Chains A and B, each alone.
Chain A
Amino acid sequence: MKILVPVKRVVDYNVKVRVKADGTGVDIASVKMSMNPFDEIAVEEAVRLKEAGVAAEVVAVSCGIAACQETLRAAMAIGADRGILVETDVDLQPLAVAKLLKALTDKEAPQVVICGKQAIDDDANQTGQMLAALNGWPQATFASKVTIADGKAAVTREIDGGLETLELSLPAVITTDLRLNEPRYATLPNIMKAKKKPLEIVKPDELGVDVAPRLSTLRVDEPPKRSAGVRVADVAQLVDKLKNEAKVI
């Protein structure tokens, strides 16, 4: 069984991002970049399935600029067997990525695609779902436990009311939540080996996908600064403020 894991290069989670002065986006020039943490969990899960003998091959995919090769190498250092970079300088939106992944699943025919549930840069939380829809595959999002046996996946997902367990026929898309696993530290021999693992580079054109953006960003602003609080005289005043000023009750 083959598992495909999409990995995204994002601003490192330790970086305090700043909005560009002209409001067109976030300043990522000379900012530390690394693999989206949810995707790291996805790679870890796929590698564990391989180590357990469930999967035979783990293929990492990244879509974006040439520097995404580093992200793929990081995935291979965790244990992915090879990498595919869909290289483009176009700013990719979730639907474009889902279409690229659809083209790759047609080509690679994986039984499972494990994605991060969302990327920590745009927090879109759409790509996995779109990919399932484009493929007409079942999907299980926000997984906190994955078991694969007899051509089916049992996925426990975190929902508002507690936990829900779904059974899916394969092929399927699974997206990872934070508590699915704790990614390992890559070992030094695996970091060295990752440099020698195959990394294929394709262009969106070769996959027949138009990646032009469909959405336009009007403006990006810093979140408003929290203003100073006020002391209320009694509960009645508090309720009044919540009701009429904050309008939350």
Chain B
Amino acid sequence: MSQYTAPIRDMQFVMRELAGLDAVAALPGCEEVSPDLVDAILEEAGKFAGGVLAPLNKIGDQHGAKWQDGKVTTVPGWKAAYEQFAEAGWTALACDPQYGGQGLPKLISTAVMEMWKSANMAFSLCPMLTNGAIEALMLRGTDAQKDMYLPKMVSGEWTGTMNLTEPQAGSDLAAVRTRAEPQGDGTYKIFGQKIFITYGEHDLTDNIIHLVLARLPDAPEGVKGISLFVVPKFLVNEDGSPGARNDVHCVSIEHKLGIHASPTAVLAFGDSGGAIGTLVGEPNRGLEYMFIMMNEARFAVGMEGLALSERAYQHALQYARDRIQGTELGVRGGPKVSILQHPDVRRMLMSMKSQTEAMRALAYVVGAATDLAHLHPDEGVRARNQAFVDLMIPVVKGWCTENSVDIASTGVQVHGGMGFIEETGAAQHLRDARITPIYEGTTAIQANDLIGRKIAREAGATIQGVVAEMRKVQAELAAKDGDFTAIGRALGNGIQAVEEAVAYILATYNADIKAAHVGSVPFLKLLGIVAGGWQMARAALVAERKLAQGEGDAAFYQAKIVTARFYADHVLAQASGLSYAVVNGAAGALALSDEQF
């Protein structure tokens, strides 16, 4: 069976040394956060992830969620694990204490979320979507709606869903057709069909709270005519208990490439007279509310990329240690050795490890910046961090998820032929990873957001500030020798590549928008790689300092420097090629006529 051990040591390192746990703990509202508490939480979450969730990952894949006569049965073991998860209070970690949450900062919930997602991604989607629904209600719900739904959603007694997509409205939500008819008593009847609803129906809890995008009768066309409604599976009685069954039914669930245990529902609203819901916030502003929550959701999917990469790495490493094949290169007549001794297997494992660590560093840094953006007393600090978060969210989402597909594929490659066999378990990570660059906005959607809203619209102000920060690290590296010279050189080339690509985007975005968009995904990858290299370089500098001080685990710090060196030579080295594609790639991409394809 594939095991998962939470990488607590690296998580602690990144939280403390790179993301600034101290600064987060000093924020108002975070008084309880101390390194001891964080350690205790990571320790216990790691135990739960490894002991309860990870052992269900494979059976989840093999068995899958089952639909029959409108009811969905989750995988054997799922319900017990969910109850244990909720009882242990993990659903409430980041939620508002007013509704029973623990109110812990994003930096901590980020690390804990990574564990759930590494251990069992299909399981983790249920609490993740519930959190999204909680956020929406917190943001714009009335007090009555909050009191009715939030305590039970925070405690995990009920789960939540997000209903956006319809068959004709995927990436283009302007095309949403689901209708909401006011009943005159403050409620609405909802009619329409929603697809791709994660955990839209299941047997884990007594009630499911759906948040649904729909149009009011007099709504304007397009994105400005969409409102948000809350529609429970069971209407809620005055005393808070579930009452009559609402007219929302699961017509089927999808057969998917991966995340088999996560039921992806087709939901029919109003087939028998109308599903009763109430309006969240103001009419016609639903999509706007969704956009406020988008950062959160996109970040969480980016974390899936990181989490699956970690799991795939652990899986491949274990196999590489156990699998005996061939003799060591250069040793004549030597004994058979594990494949970990072969240079290319080492290269593959280092590639997985270094990119996973780079993604973790960048994602946690962004998580901590989110805390500063929300809670810091100084408005300037808040604004600066928010701008950084806004710039980096599409990168965390797009880069980490695209990487995870490659990394999980490398994980299969480490296994050789056995990787192609399902029993080995390496293939599941690849199949599970494949959805992550697609849902919650494809990589192209992220990349368009990045070059348009986040760079061109503000003439590159934020990205230039980030580049200046990177240059400082590069200067620090330049003053050193050995591995640090190599890391500094690669980082310098990477920064230059980003600068060239940004200059091209700023010059082209208004003049030739199609040309700019051809380069958007290569640019997103480029920025991810260089931002990851920036964090790996910072990690190497911290490690060097710790080693000089003789503090802590020397083997860990030495490995950090070596890993940063590998990343510089193998990953950062790709930056100039990507930049070249951004700057020169439009001609070949756009010139064929439709018939010539």
* A77-B44 in contact given A185-B51, A188-B88, A195-B36 (Cβ < 8 Å): yes
Interface residue A239 (Cβ < 8 Å from any Cβ of B):
no
Contacting pair B37 A30 (CB below 8 A): no
Q: Does B32 lie within 8 Å of A30, measured CB to CB?
A: no
User: With an 8 A cutoff between CB atoms, is A194 at the interface?
Assistant: yes
Which residue of A30, A186, A189 contacts B552 across the interface (Cβ within 8 Å)? A30
**A59 to B158 Cα, complex, angstroms:** 36
Decide if B34 touches A191 in the complex (CB within 8 Å): no
Chain A min CB distance to B489 (Å): 32
B25 CB-CB contact with A under 8 Å? no
Indicate whether A70 reaches chain B with its CB closer than 8 angstroms: yes
B322 → chain A closest CB, angstroms: 15
Residues of B within 8 A of A191 (CB): 37, 40-41, 44
**With known contacts A30-B553, A188-B88, A188-B90, A194–B44 Cβ distance under 8 A:** no
Question: In the complex, A186 Cα to B37 Cα: how many Å?
Answer: 13
Q: How far is the CA of A67 from the CA of B92 in the complex (A)?
A: 29
Q: Is A82 an interface residue (CB 8 A)?
A: no
Choose among B36, B87, B552, B553 the residue that contacts A187 (Cβ–Cβ < 8 A): B87
For B84, the chain A residues whose CB sits under 8 A away are 185
**Those of A1-21 within 8 Å (CB) of chain B:** 14
Q: Which residues of A contact B47 (CB under 8 A)?
A: 185
- Once the chains bind, are A195 and B552 in contact (CB under 8 Å)? no
Residues of A within 8 Å of B, CB-based: how many? Answer: 17
Q: Are A192 and B88 in contact (CB under 8 A)?
A: no
Pick the contact of A77: B40, B48, B52, B93 (CB < 8 A).
Answer: B40
Give A216 Cβ to nearest chain B Cβ, in Å.
29
Q: Which residues of B contact A34 (CB under 8 A)?
A: 43
| CB contact between A188 and one of B36, B41, B52, B554 (< 8 Å): that residue | B41
Using CB atoms, name the residue of chain A closest to B90.
A188
Could you tell me if B36 and A73 are in contact, using CB atoms closer than 8 angstroms? yes
* CB of A74 closer than 8 Å to a CB of B: yes
* B1 CB to nearest A CB, Å: 16
Rounded to whole Å, the gap between the CB of A135 and the closest CB of chain B is 33
Q: Kindly supply a per-residue 1/0 record for chain B positions 404-441, scoring 1 wherever the CB is within 8 Å of any chain A CB and 0 otherwise.
A: 00000000000000000000000000000000000000
Q: Hey, what's the 0/1 contact readout for B92-115 against A, CB within 8 Å counting as 1? A: 110000000010000000000000
With a cutoff of 8 Å between Cβ atoms, the chain B residues found around residue A70 in the complex are 36, 39-40
Q: Which residues of B contact A188 (CB under 8 A)?
A: 41, 44, 88-90, 92-93, 102
Q: Which of A14, A185, A189, A194 contacts B40 (CB 8 A)?
A: A194
Q: Which residues of B lie under 8 Å from residue A77 when comparing CB positions?
A: 40, 44
CB pair B102–A189 under 8 Å, yes or no, is yes
Q: How many Å from the CB of B145 to the closest CB on chain A?
A: 25
Return B168 CB to nearest CB of chain A, in Å. Answer: 42
**In whole Å, how far is B568's beta carbon from the nearest beta carbon of chain A?**
26
Report B126 CB to chain A, min CB distance, Å. 17
Minimum distance in angstroms from A78 CB to a CB of chain B: 10
Give chain B residues whose Cβ lies under 8 Å from the Cβ of A14.
5
Give the chain B neighbours of A194 by CB distance below 8 A: 40
Whether B102 contacts A192 by the Cβ 8 Å rule is: yes
Chain A 134-164 per-residue mask, 1 if CB under 8 angstroms from chain B, else 0 = 0000000000000000000000000000000
The verdict on A185 contacting B48 (CB below 8 Å), with A30-B552, A192-B32 known, is yes
User: Residues of B contacting A73 with CB < 8 Å?
Assistant: 36, 40
Quick one: closest B residue to A77, CB to CB? B40
- Asked if A187 and B102 sit within 8 Å, CB to CB, the answer is no
Q: How far is the CB of A225 from chain B (nearest CB, A)?
A: 15
Cβ proximity bits A26-40 to B, threshold 8 Å, 1 near / 0 not: 000010001000000
Complex Cα spacing A190 to B88, Å: 9
Question: Which residues on the A side are within 8 Å of B44 (C-beta)?
Answer: 77, 185-186, 188, 191
Interface string of B544-581 (1 = CB under 8 A from A): 00000000111010000000000000000000000000
State in angstroms the CA–CA spacing of A74 and B37 once bound together: 10
Report the separation of the CA atoms of residues A77 and B39 in the bound assembly, to the nearest whole angstrom.
Answer: 13
Q: Are B32 and A195 in contact (CB under 8 A)?
A: yes
Q: How far is the CA of A189 from the CA of B87 in the complex (A)?
A: 10
**Which chain A residue shows the least CB distance to B37?**
A195
Q: Which residue of B lies closest to A12 (CB)?
A: B43
A70 to B35, CA, bound (A): 11
Contact B48 A189 (CB under 8 A): no
Task: Give the distance in Å from the alpha carbon of A13 to the alpha carbon of B318 in the complex.
Answer: 19
Task: Please encode chain A, from 54 to 96, with 1 for each CB lying within 8 Å of some chain B CB and 0 for all others.
Answer: 0000000000000000100110010000000000000000000
B89 touches A187 (CB 8 A): yes
Q: Given the complex of chains A and B, what is the CA–CA distance between A194 and B84 in angstroms?
A: 20
Q: Which residues of A contact B554 (CB under 8 A)?
A: 30
Q: Which residues of B lie under 8 Å from residue A30 when comparing CB positions? A: 552-554, 556
Return the CB mask of A186-228 against B: 1 if under 8 Å, else 0.
1111111011000000000000000000000000000000000
B56 to chain A, nearest CB (A): 15
Report the separation of the CA atoms of residues A139 and B554 in the bound assembly, to the nearest whole angstrom: 45
Among A74, A187, A195, which residue has its beta carbon within 8 angstroms of that of B88? A187
| Docked CA distance A195–B88 (Å) | 17
Of listed A73, A77, A191, A195, residue having the most chain B CB within 10 A: A191
Please, which residues of chain A bring their CB within 8 A of the CB of B36? 70, 73, 195
Q: Are the CB atoms of A189 and B32 closer together than 8 Å? A: no
With CB as the reference atom, state the residue of chain B lying closest to A194.
B40
Query: Given the complex, which residues of B lie within 8 Å of A187, measured CB to CB?
Result: 87-89
Nearest CB to that of B92 among chain A residues? A188
Residue from B39, B43, B102 having most chain A Cβ neighbours under 10 A: B43
B41: which A residues are within 8 A, CB to CB? 188, 191
Q: A51: shortest Cβ distance to chain B, in Å?
A: 14
User: Given the complex, which residues of B lie within 8 Å of A185, measured CB to CB?
Assistant: 44, 47-48, 51-52, 84, 88
Minimum distance in angstroms from A124 CB to a CB of chain B: 26
Closest to A78 in B: B44
Within 8 A of B (CB), among A157-194: 185-192, 194
Rounded to whole Å, the gap between the CB of B50 and the closest CB of chain A is 10
Which residues of B from 74 to 98 have beta carbons under 8 Å from A? 84, 87-90, 92-93
Shortest B169–chain A CB gap in Å is 38
Residue of A nearest to B551 (CB): A30
In the complex, what's the smallest C-beta–C-beta distance from A201 to chain B, in angstroms? 15
- In Å, the complex CA distance between A53 and B46 comes to 31
Residues of A within 8 Å of B5, CB to CB, are 14
How far, in whole Å, are A192 and B31 apart by their CA atoms in the complex?
A: 12
Query: Residue of A at shortest CB range from B8?
Result: A32
In the complex, 25 of the A-B residue pairs with CB atoms within 8 angstroms, ordered by the A residue number, are A30-B552, A30-B553, A34-B43, A70-B36, A73-B36, A73-B40, A74-B40, A77-B40, A185-B44, A185-B48, A185-B51, A185-B52, A185-B88, A186-B44, A186-B88, A187-B88, A188-B41, A188-B88, A188-B90, A188-B102, A189-B92, A191-B37, A191-B40, A191-B44, A195-B37
Interface residues of B (CB under 8 A from A): 5, 32, 34, 36-37, 39-41, 43-44, 47-48, 51-52, 84, 87-90, 92-93, 102, 552-554, 556
Taking A30-B554, A188-B89, A191-B44 as given, write out 14 further A-B residue pairs in contact, using a Cβ cutoff of 8 Å, ordered by the A residue number: A70-B36, A70-B40, A185-B51, A185-B52, A185-B88, A186-B44, A187-B87, A188-B41, A189-B92, A189-B102, A191-B37, A191-B40, A192-B102, A195-B40
8 closest Cβ pairs, A-B complex = A188-B89, A30-B553, A187-B88, A187-B89, A189-B89, A186-B44, A191-B40, A185-B48
